[in-house]
Structures are given as structure tokens and as C-alpha cells.
């Protein structure tokens, strides 16, 4: 597939790593600049390495090594790219554009493809390495890059503005979430609908002139009942090309393409069989089935990634990796398994169904068998070459011979495809149903409380007064998911009250006694939110909020406050390094400051200031960086107290 699938996997890697910030720099440069320089050096080293390896392959000429070259180099490039995304933060640095995210990966693919072409040319392939590379670039990479560019444009103009509206809405209007989902899928469909029009121009396809071959193709389309926009010739990028295609999901943007070599060298009955094969994909809606499977694969890969990431935590080598990085790796591997095995079964079944359509249009299975054999011989492809998406040519020919001897084999196969489609639809329904039953996020807390009025009343009373006993009894009676939701709502409400207090304090409308009341309530409710859950990320999140409030929410922490913070320190220290989080580093620094470990505290504040531009919302970044700078300075003064976030603007913490 000319490298399209590796691009999909690379894009999944980049997207799953998009929220992971880059680690602290070791050179003092900006994180993005250091990452770019490291990546450039690695790409150059990779290019030199594959060219050296190609010289060995050219002298060795081992068919086995040549056949494995693509798999080995593609696997290596994906592994290196994943390292850049997860460890250097490239997924987030270039998160504004899919094209920019994939640039380093493409930079490694191109020299690997060229080196492979050198080796194949030495092994007897009549096409020079440059021609082989040009074919991959023109017919595979270039259309994919155009599609990614269109996706980027749609994301900037439509999806991201809606996403920001949905975030600001905080779940108050559920229709916004549905609109965002519809816009995302609508973007995919729109790009897929118009891409054929762009691809035929990129490939240099031309309107097929009036000829017996054109009349044959027009007649075949009429007999098959498939409407097309244009019939075009497909000149090769280099060397010879024996291929045909029908592109387009709707008739307005549907094109029939035949390479000039195929039109010249195949007899009419075989041309009709090839046309029937391509039209069979349209008639049986294979493109729509593939798109549906892609949606299901992404949905289930994400859905299974959390338990898979938890299982990876006990695997040697993964135990020191943060949860989000493990989850990203799990998504990629699950997606790979879905494509390689489940999609392989579906694709092979659809290709066999298309072969049957080709035989039907040509009027005999023998014409389809001979067409497969001719294309194999003319293109230099061995008839026994395995294909996870198509079956080998020999297997396809053997099946057509079986159908000729047993006419009942054809309807049985159509039934098999229908059962596979039913399985995909069931996976979609189960996936959507599972998502619908998941506990709501914080943005939907109000809607959740509307469905649980008793819990809402107890929460209101507890967060207003600190009276925790009735709510504690209630939490013991409900299930774990509801108890976790209650803890999240308590934390959310207390955070909102602290933010509101800071706003009022800066405006001169708040008093110190109000802060004392807030922290008194927080202290009373802390035992409720500190209960461990079955979600380690949630536990770290709650511990961070409690510890930060204990040491940085008051100018004079109590002995109880310091004990809360001290007990959370090991967990937060691990999370700060694993997740590369500015918030966690800030909290760890504040705890160490209160415990008298000023040098260690200053180090964590410095790391937080480097990470903040990547993981802190822009509307809070300026104030947060100013606070961190004041904390770094205070860490070097034995007499200084910890600068507090609640200090009014323009007022020092020591006034």
C-alpha cells in the first residue's frame, strides 16, 4: 500500500502522545528547539545507516532479506518515531499540525525506501531505485499528505473552534458534544468524498480518448450498473505499471483508472475481468465497510487501552513508564492487531468477492484467472507471494477454479462477507453502548446530580459546611463508580471555590477569614476524597490537590497539613517524573519547601517552569510562571516564606 498503513500507525502514535509534554531540557535551549535538533541528527544517522545496509544487501542478494527489508525498516522507523513522541514530547510540540507531526517519520521512510530500491535493482528488478522511490512517493505518500493537509485545515477551521466551545461550556449543553462528534466524522467523510478528484490530478491521470478500450469499459460500467464520472488513463510515475482502480464513494466524484501498460498488454476479456473486479468493490460497498471497520478499530483500541496499560505496568521495562505513555503504546498495538488480523480477514474476503464480480462481468471465471496471472507475470510479482490483504495470486486462482466446479461456493462466500459485516456492526453497537454507560466526566457533573437528587443534597450540605458524616455513610452505600464521581465533584467544587476566592481577593472583596473557612472545610472533607480507587491516575490527581492545598493554600500549615503532604510526597514525586507535569513538580517543590529542603524545592520549581508552556492553559500561564519565579527566588532565601497562589496581585507574600 505504498506506505499508507505505516503513516496511519505513525499518526496514531503522534496523536496518543500529543498531550505528553517534552522533558526538561539538558542544554538550556527551548524544549522544541532541542527536540528538533535531536531529531534532525537522528534522521541523518538513520539515512547513513540504511544506505550502508543497502550496500550489504546488494552484495548479499538474499531474497529473504530483501523481502524482510520493508518490514524491518518500517518497524524500526515506527519505534524510533514513538521514542521521539513519548520521550522528546514531539507529539505535543508539533500538535498543531498532523503534517508537521509526521515530518520526521517521513524523513526516515524516504531513505529507507530508496535503500530498498537500490537492493532490489541489484537483485534483478529492471526498475532503477529512483523509479521505485518515485512510484511510492507519487502513488502513496503524496495523496496521503494531501489528505492530512485537508484534515489539518478542517481541524483548524471547524473542529478546534467547536472543541473550545465545548470545553468552555463544561457540559452544560450536551448538544455541543454531539455537534463536535458530528463535525469530526463529517470532516473525515468530506475529505474521503473529494480526495479522488485531487488524487487523479496528482497522479497525472488523463481523460481516456475515444477507443475500443474506452467503449469496452463504458459497456462494462453499464452492465454492472455502476455510474462513474470519468474514465481515465493512468500513466506510470516511472518504469511500467500494471494496475487499475475505481476511486470515489459517490458517482459525482467516482473515477475509473487504467494504467496505459495494462490497456496495451491485456486482451479484452481480461480487461473486462479487471474492470469487474474494481467495480465489484463499489457494488458491494467495500469502501464503506472499510471505513466502518476503521471507526470500530479506533473506538475499541481506545476503549481497551486503559486495562491494557494497567497490564503493561507489570511487564519488565514498562514499570518505570508513566500511565499515559503506556496507554499510548497500548492504543498503537491494539490498533495494529485489529488491522493485521481482523481487517486482514475482512479485506481478503472482500477481495475474493471482487474477484467473483470480475468473473461475472467477464462471463467466465477463466478470464478472471488469466487476468490475475497476466498481471502477476507482467509486473514481476511471484504467484506465490503472500499478501495479508489479498491472498496470493495462486490462492485466488485456485478459489476461482473451485467456484467453477462448485457453483454453490459463490453464494456461500457472499454469506461469509455478510456475517463479517454483521460482526463489525455488532462491535460498533457494543462499543457505543459501552461508552454510553461509562461514568460521566466533571463537565457533566450537574447532569449526573440531576439524576441523583439525594446525593446532590448531601454534597451541597457537605461542601457548604464541612459536615461530612452523612455523605460518608452515603458513599459507603453506593457502588464504586458513584463514590468516585462524588469524590471528583467534591474536588471540583473546592477548586472552583478557591479560584473564586482568589478572584475576589485580587479585587479587594475577600477577607482572610474566608480563606480560613475554605481550608477548614477542605480539611474536614479530605478523608472522603483521599480514599483509594481502582484508578491510579485518579488517586494521584486527588493526592496532588489535597497536598497542594495543605502546603500552598495557607501561610501557616498545621501539623495535620504537613502530614497529609508528607504522606503524598513519594506518589507525587514519581508522578512528576513519569508524567512530566508542571503541576506535580510545583506541588512536590511546595512540599519540600515546607519540609525545609529548599535546594530540592528550587529544582522542582525550575523544572515546572520549563514544562509549564507545554501543559498549562494559556490564560493561566503568565500568572503561573510568575508564581514559580517567586518560589524559585524564595527557595534561595532561608528567611523567606513560600509564595502563595492566593496572594493578591501586586502584593508580596511577606507583607
pLDDT band at 122 (very low <50, low <70, confident <90, very high): low
The residue assigned the cell 525545609 is 596
Angle at which helix 31-60 crosses helix 98-122, to 10 degrees, equals 10
Residue 417 pLDDT exceeds 90: yes
Sheet holding 230-234: strands in order across?
206-207, 230-234, 255-259, 244-247
Highest mean pLDDT pick, 50-64, 141-155, 431-445, 583-597: 583-597
Of the candidates 520, 456, 513, the one whose C-alpha atom is nearest the C-alpha of residue 490 is 456
In this prediction, what percent of the chain has a pLDDT beyond 90? 29
Convert the pLDDT of each residue in 290-342 to its tens digit: 989 988 998 888 888 878 887 887 777 776 666 667 777 888 889 888 988 89
Name which residue leads in pLDDT, 610 or 509.
Answer: 610
The maximal CA–CA distance of the chain, rounded, in angstroms, is 96
Residues 113 and 136: beta-carbon distance below 8 Å:
yes
Residue 76 pLDDT exceeds 80: yes
Q: Cell numbers at residue 297, please?
A: 478499530
The whole-model pTM stands at: 0.67
Residues 20 and 91: beta-carbon distance below 8 Å:
yes
Name which residue leads in pLDDT, 495 or 144.
Answer: 144
Convert the pLDDT of each residue in 381-397 to its tens digit: 889 888 888 899 999 99
Highest mean pLDDT pick, 125-134, 255-264, 444-453, 640-649: 255-264
Q: Which of 268-272, 468-472, 525-529 has the lowest mean pLDDT?
A: 525-529
At residue 166, the pLDDT reads 54
Convert the pLDDT of each residue in 466-496 to its tens digit: 787 888 888 888 877 788 778 878 877 776 7
Name which residue leads in pLDDT, 404 or 166.
Answer: 404
Residues 432 and 459: beta-carbon distance below 8 Å:
no
Residues 465 and 518: beta-carbon distance below 8 Å:
no
At residue 550, the pLDDT reads 77
- Distance from the first to the final alpha carbon of the chain: 68
pLDDT band at 400 (very low <50, low <70, confident <90, very high): very high
DSSP 439: P
d(CA 23, CA 32): 10
Convert the pLDDT of each residue in 4-61 to its tens digit: 778 888 888 888 787 665 666 666 677 778 888 999 999 999 999 998 888 877 776 6
Q: Is 572 exposed, middle or buried (CB count within 10 Å of its CB: 0-12, 13-18, 19+)?
A: buried
Q: Which of 33-42, 74-83, 557-566 has the lowest mean pLDDT?
A: 557-566
pLDDT band at 651 (very low <50, low <70, confident <90, very high): very low
- Across all residues in the chain, what is the average pLDDT? 81
The residue assigned the cell 527536540 is 35
Residues 239 and 127: beta-carbon distance below 8 Å:
yes
Amino acid at each position: 500500500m505504498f506506505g499508507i498503513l505505516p503513516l496511519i500507525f505513525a499518526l496514531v502514535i503522534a496523536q496518543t502522545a500529543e498531550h505528553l509534554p517534552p522533558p526538561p531540557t539538558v542544554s538550556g535551549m527551548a524544549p522544541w528547539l532541542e527536540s528538533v535538533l535531536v531529531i534532525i541528527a537522528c534522521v541523518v544517522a538513520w539515512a547513513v545507516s540504511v544506505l550502508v545496509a543497502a550496500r550489504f544487501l546488494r552484495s548479499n542478494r538474499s531474497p529473504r532479506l530483501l523481502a524482510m527489508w520493508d518490514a524491518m525498516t518500517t518497524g524500526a522507523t515506527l519505534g524510533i518515531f514513538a521514542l521521539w513522541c513519548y520521550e522528546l514530547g514531539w507529539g505535543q510540540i508539533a500538535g498543531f499540525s498532523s503534517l508537521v507531526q509526521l515530518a520526521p517519520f517521513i524523513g526516515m521512510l524516504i531513505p529507507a525506501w530508496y535503500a530498498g530500491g537500490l537492493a532490489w535493482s541489484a537483485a534483478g528488478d529492471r526498475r532503477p531505485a529512483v523509479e521505485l522511490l518515485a512510484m511510492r512517493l507519487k502513488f502513496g505518500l503524496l495523496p496521503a499528505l494531501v489528505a492530512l493537509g485537508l484534515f489539518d485545515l478542517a481541524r483548524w477551521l471547524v473542529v478546534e473552534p467547536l472543541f473550545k466551545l465545548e470545553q468552555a461550556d463544561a457540559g452544560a449543553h450536551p448538544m455541543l458534544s454531539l455537534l463536535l462528534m458530528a463535525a469530526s466524522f463529517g470532516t473525515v467523510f468530506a475529505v474521503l468524498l473529494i480526495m479522488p478528484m485531487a488524487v487523479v490530478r496528482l497522479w497525472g491521470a488523463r481523460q481516456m480518448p475515444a477507443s475500443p478500450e474506452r467503449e469496452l469499459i463504458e459497456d462494462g460500467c453499464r452492465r454492472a450498473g455502476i455510474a462513474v464520472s470519468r474514465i481515465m488513463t493512468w500513466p506510470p510515475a516511472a518504469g511500467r505499471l500494471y494496475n487499475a482502480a475505481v476511486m470515489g464513494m459517490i458517482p459525482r466524484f467516482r473515477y475509473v483508472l487504467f494504467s496505459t501498460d495494462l490497456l496495451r498488454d491485456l486482451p479484452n476479456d481480461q480487461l473486462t475481468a479487471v474492470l469487474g473486479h474494481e467495480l465489484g468493490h463499489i457494488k458491494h460497498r467495500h469502501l464503506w465497510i472499510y471505513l466502518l471497520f476503521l471507526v470500530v478499530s479506533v473506538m475499541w483500541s481506545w476503549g481497551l487501552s486503559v486495562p491494557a496499560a494497567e497490564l503493561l505496568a507489570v511487564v519488565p521495562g514498562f514499570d518505570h513508564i508513566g500511565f499515559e505513555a503506556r496507554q499510548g503504546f497500548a492504543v498503537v498495538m491494539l490498533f495494529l492487531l485489529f488491522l493485521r488480523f481482523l481487517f486482514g480477514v475482512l479485506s481478503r474476503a472482500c477481495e475474493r468477492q471482487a474477484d467473483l464480480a470480475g468473473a461475472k462481468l467477464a462471463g467466465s471465471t477463466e478470464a478472471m484467472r488469466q487476468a490475475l496471472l497476466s498481471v502477476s507475470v507482467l509486473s514481476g510479482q511471484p504467484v506465490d507471494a503472500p499478501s495479508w490483504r489479498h491472498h496470493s495470486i495462486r490462492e485466488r486462482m485456485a478459489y476461482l477454479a473451485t467456484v467453477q466446479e462448485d457453483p454453490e461456493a459463490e453464494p456461500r462466500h457472499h454469506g461469509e462477507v455478510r456475517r463479517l459485516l454483521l460482526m463489525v456492526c455488532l462491535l460498533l453497537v457494543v462499543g457505543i453502548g459501552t461508552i454510553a454507560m461509562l461514568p460521566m466526566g466533571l463537565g457533566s457533573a450537574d447532569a449526573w446530580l440531576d439524576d441523583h437528587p439525594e446525593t446532590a443534597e448531601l454534597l451541597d450540605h457537605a461542601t457548604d459546611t464541612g459536615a461530612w458524616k452523612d455523605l460518608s455513610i452515603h458513599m459507603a452505600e453506593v457502588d464504586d463508580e458513584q463514590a468516585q464521581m462524588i469524590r471528583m465533584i467534591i474536588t471540583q467544587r473546592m477548586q472552583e471555590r478557591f479560584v473564586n476566592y482568589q478572584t475576589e481577593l485580587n479585587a479587594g472583596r475577600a477577607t482572610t477569614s474566608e480563606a480560613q473557612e475554605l481550608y477548614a472545610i477542605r480539611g474536614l472533607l479530605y478523608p472522603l476524597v483521599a480514599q483509594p480507587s481502582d484508578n491510579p491516575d485518579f488517586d494521584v490527581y486527588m493526592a496532588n490537590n489535597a497536598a497542594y492545598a495543605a502546603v500552598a493554600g495557607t501561610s501557616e500549615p498545621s501539623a495535620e497539613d504537613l502530614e497529609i503532604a508528607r504522606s503524598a510526597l513519594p506518589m507525587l514525586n514519581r508522578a512528576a517524573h513519569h508524567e512530566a507535569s508542571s503541576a506535580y513538580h510545583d506541588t512536590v517543590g511546595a512540599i519540600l519547601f515546607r519540609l525545609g529542603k529548599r535546594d530540592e524545592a528550587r529544582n522542582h520549581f525550575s523544572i515546572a517552569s520549563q514544562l509549564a508552556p507545554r501543559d498549562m492553559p494559556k490564560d493561566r500561564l503568565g500568572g503561573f510562571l510568575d508564581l514559580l519565579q517567586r518560589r524559585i527566588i524564595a527557595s534561595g532565601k532561608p528567611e523567606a516564606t513560600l509564595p502563595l497562589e492566593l496572594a493578591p496581585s501586586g502584593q508580596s507574600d511577606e507583607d
